[in-house]
Every structure is written in structure tokens, then in C-alpha cells.
Amino acid sequence: MAWPELSWIERFAPSPTGPLHLGHAYSALTAWDRAVENGGEFLLRIEDIDQSRCRPEWEVQIFEDLEWLGIWWPKPVLRQSERSLVYQKKIEKLWQQHALFACSCSRKDILDAPQEGTPILGSDGVVYPGTCSANIASPGDVGIPKNTALRLNMSYASSIGYLKDGKNCFSFVETGCSPEGQTGLIEFSADEAIETIGDIVLARRDMGTSYHLSVVLDDAFQGVTHVTRGQDLFEATKIHVILQKLLGLPTPVYHHHALIRDENGKRLAKRDDARAISKYRAEGATPQDIRYMVGL
């Protein structure tokens, strides 16, 4: 008898750039609990495209911390650093579709660009003012220029949503909530994406890919149906949904959870060693204590 197909696949996707802290424990345990409660599967993915910041010793510690928390995942683990060719192929395809353009602007160029009023701070940093947009490849252009970042032409990418009240729209299902409490069916328009996200970098000059492209390709490759992660990534989900449509990939159900904060209300960062899981472990805490600390 064949096993029924799993309809609930969660993942935890840390970058090995420092010790996991209570915020990571909350994310990983929430994803794990949801997978278990729904008879699904939990996957671990190591997001190590930025090799200048990732260290093997942090990866080892991630495995140790998660195992200690009582989490299990199928091995071998998927590492993004092993998937550069996949990312490169997609970039080439998007380039041929004229969905990308080369951009040699520095951060300073972008901030200093002539634009009306102050630069708009969007969900992915300052919205690109369009300085290099004229570089959009025209039919007949060949090869991707070397040593340059590639940006997504958002006007092109966001033209493929569905029509609602005469507007191009996109949507995803949110079972957690945004920092402002939005939940359920989240809809946004192409106009909003162009204004508040803009032409984001899809392939960094130094990496040939970006967090956004890799995360979308890998979630689809691993068959992830439910993404559980912190509310700091709620706005980035709009980018992910547009990319999924552009690349013909399914959109998972998203569950963004509140962030664990310190006593001053600041969200925890990797450098907050004081709240590292390994430190609590060394001090004799139990996994149950960690669950209690993060409110699970």
C-alpha cells in the first residue's frame, strides 16, 4: 500500500552566522509542533549563501541545539551553498525573459540619487530609484554582464497577478499575523509592490543569488507547504509571492509569529550571546525550560 502524500511540510531555515537564540528556538519549536500536530514533516535547511558570514562551527551548533530541543529532521540536510547551479540557471532564465537588469549602483549612489522628496524606505530597504533601469536587456542582447548585481524589474514581475477592481493583485494565506495584526487572506496590488518594494536585487554581485530568490526556489524544491517564521519577514513574503508567480511555483501557507524581545523590547540578534540556547544549556536549563521561556 502506498503512503498518502504528506500535505503538511514545515521547515526551519537558519543561517549559520552565529549561535541560535531564544527567538530561533521559538521559531523552530513552533514549526516543529505544527508539523507534529498535523501529521506532517519538519525539514531543516541551512541558508549559507553568504559564505563570508557563515561558519561550519555555527552549523554544528545549530544541529546540536535543535537535537537537544527534541527536534528531528531527515538527513542529509539541504545546504543552499550546494545549490548555486540551480540559482544560476533560474537567473539565466529570468535574464532571457528580460525580467532582470544589471545594476552597478553602490548604496551611496542609491541614497544620493535625484528623486522627489526623501528616499522611500520599503520592505527590502530603500526602494531603488531606477538609476540603472535603462539597462533592461532588449531582445537580441546576449549574456549576463559579469561582476554586477542583477535587479528584478518589478513592473514586469508584478504584471502577472490576478485582476481585481481593475488592478493587478497578489495574495497569500496568513495563519499567524503581521506586526499590525493582519491575518487571513492578505491581498496586495502590483502598484503597492512597485512603490514599496521596487526593483530589488535578485542576484548579488558577490553571490550570484539573493535570500529572496534562494528561499523561494528551495521552499518549492523541498515541497514546503507551510512556512513558520518571525514577523520580521512578513513584508518580505510579498516579494516571495511575486517571485513564486513569476517562476510558476506554488505559494505555501504562511504563519508569521511574534518576535521574542529582550527586557527593553528590542528583538534578539545573533550577537545576543546572553540568550544563546547553548548558554542556557551550559547553565543546566532543560528543553522544557526553553519552551517555558518562549511561552510554548
Q: Which residues bind ligand GLU (CB under 6 A)?
A: 13-15, 47, 215, 229, 233
User: Would you say 154 or 215 has its CB closer to ligand GLU?
Assistant: 215
The runs of H, that is alpha helices, within the chain are: 22-37, 56-69, 84-96, 107-112, 154-157, 190-196, 211-221, 236-247, 277-282, 287-294
Q: Name the nearest CA neighbour of 230 among 201, 186, 268, 199.
A: 268
* Shortest spacing between CB 144 and ligand GLU, in angstroms: 25
Query: What is the distance between the alpha carbons of residues 230 and 258, in angstroms, rounded to a whole number?
Result: 6
* Shortest spacing between CB 253 and ligand GLU, in angstroms: 14
* Shortest spacing between CB 282 and ligand GLU, in angstroms: 23
- β-strand pairing of 149-152 with 78-79: unpaired
* Shortest spacing between CB 11 and ligand GLU, in angstroms: 8
User: Would you say 90 or 226 has its CB closer to ligand GLU?
Assistant: 226
User: Would you say 151 or 256 has its CB closer to ligand GLU?
Assistant: 256
Q: Prior bond to 76 cis, omega within 30?
A: yes
* Shortest spacing between CB 96 and ligand GLU, in angstroms: 27
Q: Which residues pair with 17 in a beta bridge?
A: none
Q: Are 11 and 40 in contact (CB under 8 A)?
A: no
* Shortest spacing between CB 166 and ligand GLU, in angstroms: 33
291 secondary structure, DSSP code: H
User: Would you say 53 or 93 has its CB closer to ligand GLU?
Assistant: 53
Q: Are 12 and 30 in contact (CB under 8 A)?
A: no
User: Would you say 8 or 156 has its CB closer to ligand GLU?
Assistant: 8
User: Would you say 158 or 214 has its CB closer to ligand GLU?
Assistant: 214
**Which residues are CB-contacts of 137 (< 8 A; sequence separation ≥ 6)?**
95, 98, 100, 101
Query: What is the distance between the alpha carbons of residues 81 and 207, in angstroms, rounded to a whole number?
Result: 10
Residue type, 55: R
SS3 content of the chain, % helix, strand, coil (to 5): 40, 20, 40
User: Would you say 29 or 132 has its CB closer to ligand GLU?
Assistant: 29
* Shortest spacing between CB 273 and ligand GLU, in angstroms: 17
